[in-house]
Amino acid sequence: MTQQHEITALKKFVRATNFLATSQIYLKQNVLHKRPLVHGDIKPRLLGHWGTCPGINFVYANVNRLIVKHKRPFLYLVGPGHGFPAVQANLFIEGSLSHFYPETIPYNETGIEDICKKFSAAYGYPSHANPEAPGQILEGGELGYSLSVGFGAVLDNPDLIATVLVGDGESETGPLAASWYANRLVNPATCGAVLPIVHINGYKISGPTRMGRMSHEELDLEFRGLGYHPIIVDDQLEEDVYEQMVKAMDLSYEMINDIQTRARNGEDVCKPRWPVILMRTAKGWTGVAEDKGKKLEGNCESHQVIVNKCATDKGHLEALDNWLASYGFAELCSVTEQGELQFDPDIKSLIPPKELCCGRQRLSYGGEVVRALTNPDLTKLAYGAEVPRGHRGYSMNKMGEWMREAFKLNRDQRNLRIFSPDETYSNQLQAVFEETDRAWQWPIESWDQDMSRDGRVLELLSENLLFGMMHGYTVTGRHGMFPTYEAFSQVVSSMADQYCKYVYASQGVHFRKPLPSCNVVLSSLLERQDHNGYSHQNPSFLGAMLEKHPEIISAYLPADANSTLVYTERAYADRDKLNIIVAGKKELPQWLTLDEARRQAKDGLMIWDFASDDNPDVVLAGCGDYATQECMASLVLIRELLPRVRLRFVSVSELNSNGLGSRKFQQKPWMMDEIFTKDKGVVFNYHGYPNTIKKLVFDYKGSHRFRIKGYEEEGSTTTPFDMGVRNGTSRYHLVIDMAYKLFQQGIIDETQHVAITTDMLQRLVDHKNYIKANGVDPIHIENWVWTR
């Protein structure tokens, strides 16, 4: 096929998809425009975003051309996913919709009627890209994530090219701005490539974009500085924009192929300069040029629904009628007597083979291509029976050892990565560097530590970039870990929410299979951010995620290192989940054997018999490793003061929005009384905000007996123990609360209650005076050892 023939085909393809995109926004009948429009053809509610659709269609057609020409797998990620009618138009023409939905969207006029009537209609098709649509791994509703997700998708998929359409409005977001730095992390020898196409249509919803007012020279300098090779396509240049785009796509493909070929032949390709296409086409291109003197095409006014009174306004209806007629759809697609569609041969020439259509890309369907992990043997990693209960150890170090072994066992599968916005060493995962390195494609100096071209740890100081990359990596069937400082995990709270919505919306979609879990590890916890101070003390991410669907979100708060190992293994076995593991990186007491930790993980909470009495007078519960340490210390104290009082300790290690414990435990609601008794007071010491637990136990009929302790937004630069003191979660505060519960129940008298409370308050005063004078916690606090 000659280039001119290709361009003719491209123009026809784009005309057809522009017609179908427009029809979806406006029409409920007469969807093929077989007769002039009447008011009754128009939907009662006109919703959608027209302005970005022509650019989406233009790029989709050009991607198809490369697929047909080179027979190589492509993903197409659309950052401006609100232009979904364009995406859906292409999915229809290539046959992906009729393949997956043959009953509702057949490849005929009835199918077009379906997508038009149901677009942005109640119980119909969303106005944004969505998991129900084939080939989509990103919704694009919240802008800024497209490029990072694309980079994640191509990791360890060497044949894949992810074409990412980036909106120029989207380019103004923080997540997108950081995503350009991913070119430092992707190894051309072992990974696929991302082809970013920045659609500079000049306008956001009500004003110009930054890039829209930049000159070619300024755009070129910006992207060269970011390490890319910019290729400019501009509909205002003398050369036809279709010819420009064909040349730009061919050059981009040649550059990608050259970089990958050299790297795969053994050349150390340092600073690979990947192509980026900077594409200027008018917002609302090919739509209505103006309305009553107001500029529409090439202006922000075309962002959403233009000529939006077609159901009642004659002028708007005529404008829409002329607009649809301008595409000449009847010339491009005929309908047989049986209702079957016959597209123009030129259009057919741009429809890839079925298995290579963007909507049929198998990597986008999750579990169909999941590369299962081979798990390490926990018995070789856990603290064994020779380690006495209460011995101090490190949870995050053990997690690092688990990851090291997992990297070793899955070396050939290439299905596991760490996405670490904070230094891996800082989070005590350094054991992984015994098996792998940090990935880095730019210059590596002789003194740089643990860095190589093909490392499996991705480090860059952008939570947004790396969470987006993990999104792309997991939804294409691989396994990832996102370890980060607890205080700053809130930066990706919205991204995590979007990921969870994607997973939840995928449930029940017949062609989508279970995804590997997305595993977030929160370390550098608030209890030990005494040195960094108040700014580093924030458990908000945990509380926010515990508002989400319980089948999608689980929070694991292991009390010690063996429990951390068990929950790490559990997290990677989960599917269609976002798991949060909360684990401290400092030395803490070790409480459970591996078998005990596994037993507790079944229900997500457990009475610790070794620390409890039968028929307790009061129940103490701990959730979180530092919270548990203070609970156990308070048990020692109160037993010294009240040796005849009977105590129970409950360790809670799993939470979801349904409540305490695992979903298996929550299916047995009577167990709450067995664990927390039917009538005794409960003091609950929690790692995060108390209101989180208050909401989780609200429906429990015994919740009035709970006194819930947690982070009260009090902190500063202080000592580790004083963090608990300031928030009322210290051992002394727990003794005060348990004494009050015992007094309420008549177990101790007022004299005992007052004496214990006075004693604890004096110890708190003494502690404050000590740390002010010495700057550190007392030895008996710092070196506390548990005894029963």
For the chain, how many structural domains are there in total?
Answer: 3
Query: Could you report the per-residue pLDDT of 245-277, keeping only the tens digit for each?
Result: 999 999 999 999 999 999 999 999 999 999 999
Residue 265 lies in a domain: yes
Q: State residue 340's pLDDT score.
A: 86
Q: How far is CA 183 from CA 227, 229, 465, 477, in A?
A: 8, 12, 11, 22
User: 300 and 406: one domain?
Assistant: no
Q: Could you tell me which of 164, 161, 128, 166 has the C-alpha nearest to residue 144?
A: 166
Range of the domain at 776: 604-783
Q: Could you tell me which of 132, 773, 137, 780 has the C-alpha nearest to residue 499?
A: 137
Give the pTM.
Answer: 0.96
Residue 342 pairs in a beta bridge with 334
User: 557 and 631: one domain?
Assistant: no
Q: State residue 653's pLDDT score.
A: 98
Residue 373 lies in a domain: no
Residue 307 lies in a domain: yes
Residue 599 lies in a domain: no
Question: CATH number of the domain that 742 lies in?
Answer: 3.40.50.920
Question: CATH number of the domain that 117 lies in?
Answer: 3.40.50.970
User: 505 and 550: one domain?
Assistant: yes
Contact in structure between 306 and 49 (CB atoms under 8 Å): no
Q: State residue 544's pLDDT score.
A: 95
Contact in structure between 168 and 199 (CB atoms under 8 Å): yes
- Residue finishing a domain among 342, 364, 386: 364
Q: 223: which residues sit within 8 A by CB, 6+ positions away?
A: 229, 230, 276, 278
Cα–Cα–Cα angle for 579, 584, 590, rounded to 5 degrees = 105
Contact in structure between 131 and 359 (CB atoms under 8 Å): no
Q: State residue 208's pLDDT score.
A: 96
Q: 642: which residues sit within 8 A by CB, 6+ positions away?
A: 739, 742, 748, 752, 756
User: 635 and 558: one domain?
Assistant: no
Residue 130 lies in a domain: yes
- Residue finishing a domain among 560, 589, 618: 589
Furthest-apart CA pair in the chain: how many Å?
Answer: 98
Cα–Cα–Cα angle for 190, 570, 405, rounded to 5 degrees = 45
User: 620 and 712: one domain?
Assistant: yes
User: 616 and 657: one domain?
Assistant: yes
User: 94 and 139: one domain?
Assistant: yes
- Residue 494 is encoded by which pair of tokens? 């919205």
Q: State residue 609's pLDDT score.
A: 97
State the residue for tokens 């009577």. Answer: 670
User: 351 and 478: one domain?
Assistant: no
pLDDT averaged per 10 residues, the chain (length 788): 90 98 97 96 95 98 98 96 95 98 96 96 92 92 93 97 97 96 97 98 94 97 98 96 98 98 97 98 96 93 95 96 97 88 96 96 79 92 90 94 98 96 89 97 95 97 96 95 93 95 92 94 80 80 94 97 98 96 93 97 97 97 97 97 97 97 93 97 97 96 96 87 94 98 97 97 97 93 86
